[in-house]
Amino acid sequence: MKTKTTAKMLMVSGFAACCWNSHGLAAGGVHCQEVGGGVLTNFLPTDSPACASSFHNLCTEGTSTGDIRGGVGVAILGATSGPNGTTVYHVQHHWVTDSGDAIFLKDASLTAFPTPDPNRVLADYLNGVELMGGTGRFDGATGSFPSVFGAADLSLGQITLRYAGTVCFPNAKGP
């Protein structure tokens, strides 16, 4: 009798632990996961047709690593001067994963902070970047990347960034 009671308690507590730890059950079928990685992009030539609709024909293309691997780029839509010599760029992202899923992101603001070297700036999305869906696995996904920061070498036309955040999928979809 004692063995049956212990077995029942283990079974009930095991079930409760699974429900407690399962984002899918706890969040009505939504599964969220932490993501992070890096972005390496280059400025495209200002005469590139891909940049024709951007501010001063400025745009980038490159790769993303880490949890969301693929291709990523930015079109600069505008720029304003900020405090202490900063420049705030209004940007639009495009991101395609290695598997071909598109990720849709809201327009964001990238702040460039000057350094003693006039060809290099520090870059930070002070308000983060917000994910608002996509195609394939990212259809209906939401999330945010509150930490996106890095540096740019303006003389070489290169940008290196780190990203970290959370992506929430409405229904877990297989790979």
Neighbours of 148 (CB within 10 A): 21
Distance between CA atoms of residues 123 and 170, nearest Å: 32
> Rounded to whole angstroms, what are the CA distances from 74 to 20, 57, 84, 168?
40, 11, 25, 23
Beta-strand ranges (E) seen in 101-141 are 102-105, 108-114, 120-124, 129-134
**Amino acid 118: pLDDT:** 95
Place of tokens 């990212």: 138
Place of tokens 């395609």: 96
Distance between CA atoms of residues 71 and 94, nearest Å: 8
29-169 CATH fold: AOC barrel-like (2.40.350)
Could you report the per-residue pLDDT of 122-158, keeping only the tens digit for each? Answer: 999 999 999 999 999 999 999 999 999 999 999 999 9
Contact 106, 87 (CB under 8 A): no
**Amino acid 59: pLDDT:** 93
Place of tokens 């036309």: 157
| Mean per-residue pLDDT, 70-86 | 96
**Amino acid 172: pLDDT:** 58
Could you report the per-residue pLDDT of 10-36, keeping only the tens digit for each? Answer: 344 443 334 334 343 344 568 999 999
Contact 106, 133 (CB under 8 A): no
Distance between CA atoms of residues 13 and 70, nearest Å: 41
**What average pLDDT does the chain have?**
86
